Amino acid sequence: MTFEKEIKITEVALRDGSHAVSHQYTVEQVTTIAKALNEARIPYIEVTHGDGLGGSSLQYGLSKTDEMKLIEAAVAVSDFSKIAVLLLPGIGTIEDLKQAAKIGAKMARIATHVTEADIAKQHIETAKDLGMETVGFLMMSHMAPVEKIVEQAKLMESYGADTVYIVDSAGALLPDQVRARIKAIRQAISINVGFHAHNNLSLAMGNTLAAIEEGATRIDGSIRCLGAGAGNTQTEVLVAVLDRMGIQTGIDLYKLMDVSEDVVSQILQKPQIINRDSLTLGYAGVYSSFLLHAKRAAEKFSVDSRDILIELGKRKIVGGQEDMIVDVAAELSKKKSGSACPSTYTT
Ligand SMILES: C[C@H](O)CC(=O)C(=O)O
Ligand SMILES: [Mn+2]
């Protein structure tokens, strides 16, 4: 294969990776990592709470540091990289977006469940009015058929998005499913197509390459895999692989390897591996950030978190419906013991 096209990587360790560090990033850490990524010539660095602007909450996990301070810190050390922010309408607001733009964010990625693109209209339009490069981010893309995804991608294009992403939030897509999705939207829209993978089934790299072969030119990576579940496509590995394939990214591989080894590995609470939890997420096809809630509910109701996750997958529960996790745990507990009492109340 020979590729002439340019692949532009968005580094998500300072956003998706926020899940992996329980949203405890400090200004110093963000400054060090963003500075190194900027020196490695990463085109875009995404910085926000893991669930996007406004995500810091009891529901999604409280940030240690106000995300606007983290965005400011990244902007201050990035003269090459553009700082991107993620926004899920309903979690983040237009005001959050305006503030992020004011302090120097240059790209807005507006994320919706794969069938709900219409709720992104005002956010995409506002981001464009603010002069930001704008991405429509179709999450949980394994949950909708190709025709539905095409319809939703067209909506995002019609609102003014510069790029539409297929997002494999659960790390559940198989390579042929990625190919079908990217190929179909590539043919249906005339803006950039992007792909965001999770590695829960160990397919992040393979799926990313499949997406590139079908015409995706905007790709997400995460240094040292730092992201929800088993993490994302590992940026430094991706850059090396693309280089071996003759695809130029303009990124300095050695600098990226060094920031991974010398900086990011030091702040990891535990290595980003595929364990039974993240494997279950991919296998069940559920949102990676459900894991923590499912584990808490499993402990409370003395049930197996895998059973909760698999049941959530069967019921097609989506982001925003986290309260269902406790309901499912209670039901499973009731089936098991005839009582739905949290374990702290049983003897
Ligand atoms: C809010 C989510 O964590 C966005 C994302 O990275 C995904 O769906 O995957
Ligand atoms: Mn993600």
CA distances from 153 to 40, 57, 107, 159, 221 (A): 32, 30, 18, 10, 21
Answer whether residue 205 is part of any domain. Answer: yes
Please state the atom number of ligand 1 nearest to the C-alpha of residue 196.
9
For residues 219 and 297, state if they share a domain: no
In a domain, 66, yes or no: yes
- Coil, strand, or helix at residue 206? helix
Catalytic member of 19, 23, 113, 123: 19
- Ligand 2 mean position, distance from CA 129 (Å): 26
Same domain, 69 and 112: yes
Structure confidence at residue 275 (pLDDT): 96
Would 275 be classed as within a structural domain?
A: no
Summarize pLDDT for 168-198 with one digit per residue, the tens.
999 999 999 999 999 999 999 999 999 999 9
* Binding site membership of 16 for ligand 1 (Cβ less than 6 Å): yes
Q: What is the pLDDT of residue 344?
A: 54
User: Are 200 and 336 members of one domain?
Assistant: no
Looking at the fold, whether 152 and 253 belong to one and the same domain comes out as yes
Ligand 2 centroid to residue 172 C-alpha, Å = 12
The residue from 233, 267, 301 where one domain ends is: 267
Is 3 inside a domain boundary?
Answer: no
Which of 10, 89, 22, 82 lies closest to 49, judged by CA? 22
* pLDDT of amino acid 345: 39
Q: What is the CATH number of the domain that holds 310?
A: 1.10.8.60
- The pLDDT confidence band at residue 3, using thresholds 50, 70 and 90, is very low
Would you state the pLDDT for residue 339?
Answer: 72
What does the pLDDT read at residue 340? Answer: 66
Q: How far is the CA of 141 from the centre of ligand 1 (A)?
A: 11
- Give the distance (Å) from ligand 2 centre to CA of residue 9: 14
Residue 21 in domain: yes
Instruction: Say yes or no: CB of residue 52 within 6 Å of ligand 1.
Output: yes
89 CB within 6 A, ligand 1: no
160 and 292 co-located in one domain: no
Ligand 1 atom 2: residue of nearest CA: 51
- pLDDT, tens digit, for every residue of 29-78? 999 999 999 999 999 999 999 999 999 998 889 999 999 999 999 999 99
Q: Are residues 185 and 326 in the same domain?
A: no
Domain range spanning residue 318? Answer: 286-345
Tell me if 280 is assigned to some domain. no
pTM to 2 decimals? 0.95
For ligand 1, is residue 168 a contact (CB within 6 Å)?
no
**From atom 3 of ligand 1, which residue's Cα is the shortest distance away?**
51
For this structure, is 19 an active site residue?
yes
Give the tens place of pLDDT for each residue, 121-170: 999 999 999 999 999 999 999 999 999 999 999 999 999 999 999 999 99
Q: What CA–CA distances, in Å, run from 105 to 8, 46, 184?
A: 17, 9, 31
Residue nearest to atom 4 of ligand 1 (CA): 51
Nearest to 50 by CA among 32, 77, 23, 75: 23
pLDDT tens by residue, 195-254? 999 999 999 999 999 999 999 999 999 999 999 999 999 999 999 999 999 999 999 999
Q: How far is the CA of 340 from the centre of ligand 2 (A)?
A: 33
Residue 347 has pLDDT above 80, yes or no: no
Considering the domain architecture, whether residues 189 and 297 belong to the same structural domain is answered as no
Q: Which ligand is nearest to the CA of 173?
A: 1
pLDDT confidence tier of residue 4, bands split at 50, 70 and 90: very low
Q: Report the candidate in 96, 20, 23, 126 with the shortest Cα–Cα distance to residue 65.
A: 23
Is there a single domain that holds both residue 167 and residue 88? yes
50: Cβ below 6 Å to ligand 1? Answer: yes
pLDDT score recorded for residue 289:
81
Q: Are 114 and 152 in a shared domain?
A: yes
Same domain, 333 and 192: no
Q: Report yes or no on 278 lying in a domain.
A: no
pLDDT number for residue 228: 94
Q: Are residues 47 and 176 in the same domain?
A: yes
> Which of residues 216, 236, 267 is at a domain's end?
267
pLDDT at 341: 66
From 267, 297, 324, the end of a domain falls on 267
Q: 140, 319 in Cβ contact below 8 A?
A: yes
Query: Would 1 be classed as within a structural domain?
Result: no
Residue 90's CATH number: 3.20.20.70
Nearest CA to ligand 1 atom 7: 169
pLDDT digit string, tens, across residues 292-342: 899 999 999 999 999 999 999 999 999 888 899 999 999 999 998 877 667
Residue to mutate, 14, 16, 113, 219, ligand 1, most ligand atoms under 8 Å from C-beta: 16
109 labeled part of a ligand binding site:
no
- 196 assigned to a ligand binding site: yes
**Beta strand pairing call for 133-139 and 107-113:** parallel
Q: Do 224 and 111 fall into the same domain?
A: yes
Cβ–ligand 1 distance for 278 under 6 Å, the answer: no
Domain total of the chain: 2
The answer to whether 255 touches 39, Cβ cutoff 8 Å, is yes
